Amino acid sequence: MKAAIMILFLFIFGSKSKAQKAQCEFSRKDFEITGITSKDSNFYVCELSDKQSIKRDHQEDLSDNNVRLLHILKNSKLETFSQLLCSKFPNLEVIWTENAAIKSIDQSSFKYCGQLEYLEMNGNKIQEIPPGTFSFQNKLRELSLENNKIKTLHSDSFDQLENVRTLSLASNDISDLPENVFVPFKRLLSLNLNNNKLTTIHADSFRSHVYFESVYLYNNQINSLDPQIGSKVPAINLDIQLNNCASSLFNGRVDIKLLKKCFDNYKPRESRIA
């Protein structure tokens, strides 16, 4: 096992073999990112790519511990987000991996990223969010996994994310929201599930959530809606346009007459057999 870990480490950060692809270029850059609590917007950045000519030496008086932003570029060719990335840069506040072709994340991927506040992995090829993936991210404030290939969520996919304010799972292949899946989000204000394959919305997916500013369910395949959704998921903006039995934007209370067909189609989850 130790040998396997060392091989992966060399592949990512320093092997001179032909197999080595990903390398860091260190620099200072200004990033204005909504939701980041740090007053300093000048980030020490690792840009990860497979360029053959690239600077890998730290700037003067700086080290891996000073890296606050990891930007994985489109040509990095990293298919798995390894825990070694967070282990090498333990003080990361921002991870940005848009269109980087990453296929998988797991329970260990972010284990050593306890300072993470902003995670954007849009436009990758992730298919599943395994249970406990974000168990060490209690400082995370914004999570975006748009435009992946996510089919599977688990009831504990988002455990420990009580401080997240914005969650986007738009443009994936999600067809079901498990019971209690959004319960860990005690401060979630905006939930984006646009452009998925949802057919039924159960209120128990949101059990004990207090308040949303916005819930976006635009362009799914919804034909069944839990009648308790209005009381269990209070929201200023609930957008369910372009679905099978509803096509309107609701402000304040849900218009029950307009949604009657959805409510009439609703069937509770099947009881679990002990």
pLDDT at 64: 93
pLDDT at 75: 75
> What predicted TM-score, i.e. pTM, was given to this entire model?
0.85
How many Å apart are CA 249 and CA 239, to the nearest integer? 5
How many Å apart are CA 12 and CA 6, to the nearest integer? 10
Which portions of the chain are predicted below pLDDT 70?
1-22, 32-41, 51-56, 208-210, 234, 236, 245-259, 271-274
pLDDT at 4: 42
pLDDT at 269: 87
pLDDT at 273: 43
pLDDT at 125: 95
